[in-house]
Chain A
Amino acid sequence: MSRFGLLLRNELKLFRTAVPIHAVAILQPTVLYLLMSAILVHPTFEMNVAQPTTDAGHELLEAMEHVGSPIGLPYIEPVLVTFDRGPVARQVVVVEDQDDHPVAVQYFGLVDSNLVKNYRNRLTAAGLRLWNEELGRQAVLVEEHAWLPQDMPYTVYFGMALLPMAVFVAASFLGAVLIAQEFEFRTILEYRLAPLSPAWILGARMARLLLLALVAGALVSIALGLRSDAWPDLPWLVALILLPVGLIAGCLGTLAGLLLRRTIPAFLVGLVASFVGWIMGSGFGLAAGFGEWYDRLSRLTPFTHAVELLFPRYFGAVIGRPALSVAYLLLVSAAMLAATVAVYRWRVTRQAP
């Protein structure tokens, strides 16, 4: 067996020294995605509608069924319910007769303002459709020019943007904890006296971190595919895009472990970096949509660059400047790797002054 192969095999066996941390680091993003996808806004909304008893009620129901994006999914899936004016679950639409005029009345249960907005917008769209049918050629015509060839469901965007986060969390958590643990258990002495170049040792460590980080990313990708039927067109390219993100995270975690030498503080650095980077870096929507300054700031993180490179793989459209993003990821990876080697030499290999 080659030395690198042996180093990597040993690295993988060290999994046994931190089983819970490995489980958290690898599974946590997938669990997060599955939980979030259950509560996130789906493009097609179920809307409770009281069983219509009038013509106007039937017309509104029909109009609701036709409301949707011109390039994708319907927006409303009406669910007929019996309404007895008691407490309302989420929302219900009732067509009432007020002064001989049919009026669509919307009753809300305990929902937040964002959901109220979503329910209201959909009902308004259905009302507009009815109104336009009445007006004939005098109707308000809305032309839509979609940027993408198909709708971008938020659950899919969220899952896609979670991929770099999954890789980052796994690599930074494990990188931080594993090296800090070596200091706490004093096993670092084995490395301190080793007559082997740090490049070999860190190379094997990074290979291990990347492998585990890609497993974490693959789990999110599979969950995304199964939950939303969204699969990347080129999975190998997705892995390639995520590699530098994992490398940057692995270096960051290892640096934290080397500098802090304590498991909990190093772990917290990985945690904070992962979540701040994810939130800042287009985790909840394309950074460009949040304003210029936010966009600029987000480009300091590897997340936005990774999200923009991943975007075509899930939505079939190129966004941002891919060449710039690739250059950023490669340059930051190289810089982080160089910094890690330097700090490793300082903290581990070099004699205490």
Chain B
Amino acid sequence: MEEQRAGPVSEEEVVAPAISVSKATRRFGDLVAVDELSFKVHPGEVFGLLGPNGAGKTTAIHLITGLLRRHGGEVRVLGSDPEKDSRRVRQQIGYVPQETNVYLDLSATDNLWHHAALYCQELSVVGNRIRDLLHLVDLWERRKDAVGTFSGGMKRRLALARALLHDPDLILFDEPTLGVDVQARHVLWEHVRSQQAAGKTFVVSTNDMAEADALCDRVLIIDHGREIALDSPERLKAELGRDIVTLRTSPPVQDPERLFAGLGVQAVSRSEPDQLRLEVRDAESIVGALFSRVATDHRLESVRIARPTLDDVFLHYTGRALRE
């Protein structure tokens, strides 16, 4: 039988959010890493924390796990305060940190047994669960090998299996595919989706737009510890209400505002001397007119029409690209 993707519980259905963060603040000296951040994560959704390096994503995750104390605001995880009721919260969350922290000299199975001793309440079922999870993440054949011989993707899959071992309701996944090759990242995304279908809630921290786009039901874009935008990737992109047309001409267009006047171009920027980036409401309807105006005095070297990405969303709100 085909597995059904459970998907997130809608806002109306939600009685208690899996995570509720309200005006959470965390400082490191003078640096405000998380600045009055507020958001809710619904049970069963994959929620993305998207932002550039140093935006405060990992700090936000550490506030959720209770690894860091907040300097203001409130955090509730599955109904409990991670600072005051840390043991209960830790029992219900699985955490895959940014740096894969598995024992390289132990086998995959031994790594999971080590985790079981620390986290699992019911030890009698652990053996079967380890077998199932190693099958799930396709590591059963390598279960006896030292983890030091694994690829980056395999280590991440093992870390995910480990985080799932004690059957937590909520999994916090910090930079899931950092340093992982393209093929392996798709495998990891599949594992996240299959676990979501099984009812797990995920919070994924990433600075990878494609990852957030492919994986997350909703994303919170943060920068300098503050909320920039919060919605589903589709809505965030749709809210921009424009397509991106990138033209490369020879010679470069000198006065694009005059050349494209009256065509509904909303913004023009120059990413390279001979390359123009135009934001238009509906690229398909004006592309013919654009070409004919350019062709009058220039040779068109290349043209690309793109729907907005989350990077464009970030650019729109902050004036700079996500990876800058």
Q: Could you tell me which A residues sit within 8 Å of B by CB distance?
A: 1-3, 6-7, 9-10, 13-14, 16-17, 185-187, 189-196, 201, 351-353
Given the contacts A6-B113, A10-B110, A17 and B105 also touching, CB distance less than 8 Å = yes
Judged by a CB distance under 8 angstroms, whether B277 is at the interface is no
Interface size class of B (residues with CB under 8 A): 20 to 34
Segment among B83-91, B195-203, B314-322 that sits at the interface with chain A: B83-91
| B118 proximity list for chain A (CB < 8 A) | 7, 190-191, 194, 196, 201
Min CB distance, A113 to chain B, in Å?
A: 51
* A193 adjacent to B115 (CB under 8 Å): no
CA distance A16 to B104 in the complex (A): 9
Which residue in B83, B101, B106 is a CB contact (below 8 Å) of A186? B101
* B102 adjacent to A6 (CB under 8 Å): no
CA distance A192 to B117 in the complex (A): 14
List B residues 67-107 near A (Cβ within 8 Å): 67-69, 83, 86-88, 90-91, 93, 95, 97, 99, 101-106
* A6 adjacent to B123 (CB under 8 Å): yes
Which residue in A9, A192, A195 is a CB contact (below 8 Å) of B67? A192
Most chain A CB within a 10 A radius of its CB, from B66, B69, B103, B106 = B103
Can you offer 11 A-B residue contacts whose CB atoms are under 8 A?
A13-B114, A14-B114, A17-B104, A186-B101, A189-B95, A190-B101, A190-B114, A190-B118, A194-B90, A194-B118, A195-B90
Report the 7 A-B pairs with minimum CB-CB distance, sorted nearest first. Answer: A194-B118, A186-B101, A195-B91, A195-B90, A16-B105, A6-B117, A10-B114
| B67 proximity list for chain A (CB < 8 A) | 192-193, 351-352
Judged by a CB distance under 8 angstroms, whether B116 is at the interface is yes
| B86 proximity list for chain A (CB < 8 A) | 351
| A193 proximity list for chain B (CB < 8 A) | 65, 67, 90, 93, 95
CA distance A189 to B110 in the complex (A): 17
Min CB distance, A341 to chain B, in Å?
A: 16
Which residue in A1, A187, A189, A351 is a CB contact (below 8 Å) of B103? A187
CA distance A187 to B102 in the complex (A): 6
Q: Could you tell me which B residues sit within 8 Å of A by CB distance?
A: 62, 65-69, 83, 86-88, 90-91, 93, 95, 97, 99, 101-106, 110, 113-119, 123
* A13 adjacent to B110 (CB under 8 Å): yes
| B105 proximity list for chain A (CB < 8 A) | 16-17
Known contacts A16-B105, A186-B99; 8 additional CB pairs below 8 A are A3-B117, A7-B117, A7-B118, A10-B113, A17-B106, A193-B65, A195-B91, A196-B119
Min CB distance, A336 to chain B, in Å?
A: 24
Number of A-B contacts (CB under 8 A): 72
CA distance A353 to B117 in the complex (A): 27
Closest to A191 in B: B118
* B101 adjacent to A6 (CB under 8 Å): no
| B123 proximity list for chain A (CB < 8 A) | 1-3, 6
* A10 adjacent to B101 (CB under 8 Å): no
Which residue in B83, B88, B102 is a CB contact (below 8 Å) of A195? B88
| B104 proximity list for chain A (CB < 8 A) | 17, 185
CA distance A208 to B97 in the complex (A): 28
Which residue in B69, B101, B106, B113 is a CB contact (below 8 Å) of A189? B101
Closest to A188 in B: B101
* B69 adjacent to A353 (CB under 8 Å): yes
CA distance A10 to B88 in the complex (A): 24
Min CB distance, A158 to chain B, in Å?
A: 37
CA distance A238 to B99 in the complex (A): 46
Closest to B26 in A: A352
Min CB distance, B5 to chain A, in Å?
A: 28
CA distance A2 to B120 in the complex (A): 12
| A3 proximity list for chain B (CB < 8 A) | 117, 123
* B117 adjacent to A10 (CB under 8 Å): yes
* B83 adjacent to A351 (CB under 8 Å): yes
Min CB distance, B118 to chain A, in Å?
A: 4
CA distance A2 to B126 in the complex (A): 12
CA distance A194 to B95 in the complex (A): 11
* B103 adjacent to A194 (CB under 8 Å): no
* B97 adjacent to A14 (CB under 8 Å): no
Given the contacts A194-B90, A352-B68, A189 and B119 also touching, CB distance less than 8 Å = no
| B66 proximity list for chain A (CB < 8 A) | 351
* A17 adjacent to B97 (CB under 8 Å): no
CA distance A6 to B126 in the complex (A): 11
CA distance A10 to B112 in the complex (A): 10
Given the contacts A194-B119, A195-B88, A187 and B65 also touching, CB distance less than 8 Å = no
Min CB distance, A346 to chain B, in Å?
A: 13
CA distance A245 to B262 in the complex (A): 88
Min CB distance, B202 to chain A, in Å?
A: 17
| B97 proximity list for chain A (CB < 8 A) | 186, 189
CA distance A195 to B93 in the complex (A): 10
Min CB distance, B169 to chain A, in Å?
A: 13
Most chain B CB within a 10 A radius of its CB, from A9, A196, A351 = A351
Closest to B114 in A: A10
Min CB distance, B276 to chain A, in Å?
A: 46
| A353 proximity list for chain B (CB < 8 A) | 69
Given the contacts A6-B123, A7-B117, A14 and B106 also touching, CB distance less than 8 Å = yes
